[in-house]
A = this chain, B = another copy of it.
Amino acid sequence: MSNLFLRTLREDPADAEVPSHKLLVRAGYVRRAAPGVYTWLPLGKIVLENVSRVVREEMNAMGGQEVLLPALLPKEYYEASGRWEEYGDTLFRLKDRKGADYLLGPTHEELFTLLVKGEYSSYKDFPVVLYQIQEKFRDEARPRAGILRGREFHMKDAYSFDIDDEGLQESYDKHRAAYIRIFDRLGLEYVIVSATSGAMGGSASEEFLAVAPTGEDTFVRSTGSDYAANVEAVTVPAPEPRSVEGLPEARKHHTPNTATIQTLVDFLNGADLGRDFTEADTLKNVLVKTRAPGTEEWELLAIGLPGDREVDFKRLEAALEPTEVAIVDEADFAANPFLVKGYIGPKALQDNKVRYLVDPRVVTGTAWVTGADEADHHVVDLVAGRDFTPDGTIDVAEVRDGDPSPDGKGTLYTARGIEIGHIFQLGRKYADAFQLDALGPDGKPKRVTMGSYGIGVSRAVASIVEQSHDDKGIVWPREISPADVHVVGTGKGGEVEEALRIGGELEARGLRVLVDDRKAAPGVKFNDAELLGIPTTVIVGRGLKDGLVELRDRASGERSDVPVEEIVERTVAACSQ
């Protein structure tokens, strides 16, 4: 350490909000070079390399082949795929000296598709999985949290190429298994969440989220199982339909000034109707408008859901995709006078051919209080399947803590995570854009189908720190740590020399060793050791004159005095646990 290019900081950097940002800067692993752009200092470079190595080993083990593509890419390929436009401001664009347009690669689907097209032509060539570990560039609107969301960052991107859907599913499953091994080895606590609803055709896309309160992604998990999902992908268990036999008839009531659910419930409970009402007994009809891709026209869509729920717009967008959805405005109400604001009911909607979808909880046989399509009037005991029949169901109500888990075990609660991996069945989007075909056994061309699979390598480093730190500093998992052992020599009676000797012996035993041989006060050295977070520490200090050194475990804080002649064996043992 007397020569190491490392200076730790006592203070958190002014722009840092999350633990990984504070600690990686304070401990001298990274330095900011520009907004969202970081330099990796010597120990940081080792950590980054360690994560990359784990990723590489597991990608190779699952049959991936490593290549390296350029970062500087010609516009034409991204224009062919449509991403030159789609990426918007997030793409770094530039021109060369001849005025030709280039971009800095955000991911490389286009180039990999062309690469495979250039080399392979027969169905016998497939499947193939190619990957690279490389700097990627994205001009994030709000680069934040240090290396958690940077504008230049390290990523492993892999691409699978198969000749049929079954092959793609196999490639996808192999990546999924490899990702589990990778994140397990990185010591991360993570969940795998569907990025899209199961209704869209199985696990076409899943995200690996490192659980962390500082994460940008919200997801729900169950108290009673390992169920976890993106909010968009949660499915509400639909109750069994009930018989409509013997249910009370629907009756219209004069309910003055009850345009909100709360005023309605209060009115009903004050009206002595023979029973108590809650918001969940009311059926709220929310209007939006939608526009299918390629069309100009907006169409009304009504969504009926229990009055205690709001429509989650993110879930709505995901459910309707690729159809666009927008909020209705006064002009829409004016154009459709049958819509009585605050008192919209199923009848006017269906009489006027407005598409009407309901929450899965609105099953046949359920009775509701809902609008009577007339100001200051509601209908009570309007029964689904008897008094109205919706056009279908749509699962877009907000998900709440305490909701039953879709797998029937426990209840849901909201958590936050950092997206560290994403596996995605691309299908034929890029193969279509670049006519990537393979000649089938029948001599006919067959369009190739692809998957793409990313891991945020630099983000994984930050995620590990988010999950593995305390108030004194970082606590590295051994495989990722810049060293196995931190040997600290303190004092002027030969302790530093002894630390160097012990460090040398440990190194000869195959351990990666950092020796603190600096001229600095013991307190400074101890604080730095805890800040740096190397899993095992050996302190060669005051005890040395009695033949004792101290062995510390960074994670547990356990300390024990060890006779100096036993320290090498004891340390080797501690490091192999």
Contact = CB atoms under 8 A, between A and B. Distances in A.
Interface of A: 3-7, 28, 31, 33-34, 37-42, 44-45, 48, 63, 65-74, 89-90, 92-94, 96-97, 102, 104, 111, 115, 118-120, 128, 130, 135, 137, 139, 141, 151-152
Given A97-B141, A135-B135, A72 B115 contact: no
A31 B72 contact: no
Given A5-B128, A34-B74, 13 more contacts: A33-B111, A34-B70, A37-B72, A40-B68, A42-B67, A45-B67, A45-B68, A70-B152, A71-B135, A89-B97, A94-B94, A94-B104, A97-B139
Contacts of A70: 33-34, 37-39, 135, 152
Nearest to A135: B71
Contacts of A115: 31, 39
Given A73-B34, A130-B5, A67 B94 contact: no
Contacts of A37: 70, 72-73
13 contacts: A5-B65, A5-B130, A6-B119, A33-B111, A37-B73, A38-B70, A40-B68, A41-B67, A42-B66, A45-B66, A45-B67, A70-B152, A135-B135
A72 B33 CA distance: 9
Contact of A3 (B3, B7, B63): B63
Among A37, A89, A115, residue most surrounded by chain B Cβ atoms (within 10 Å): A37
B67 A152 contact: no
Query: Taking chain A's interface residues, is the majority helix, strand, or loop, or is none over half, making it mixed?
Result: mixed
A48 B72 contact: no
A288 to B, nearest CB: 30
Contacts of A151: 72, 96
Contacts of A28: 119
A228 to B, nearest CB: 33
B135 A5 contact: no
Looking at A28, A42, A96, A119, the one whose CB has the most chain B CB atoms below 10 A away is A96
A120 B7 contact: yes
A44 B7 CA distance: 38
Contacts of A45: 66-68
Contact of A118 (B31, B92, B97, B120): B31
A97 to B, nearest CB: 4
A42 B71 contact: no
Contacts of A40: 67-69
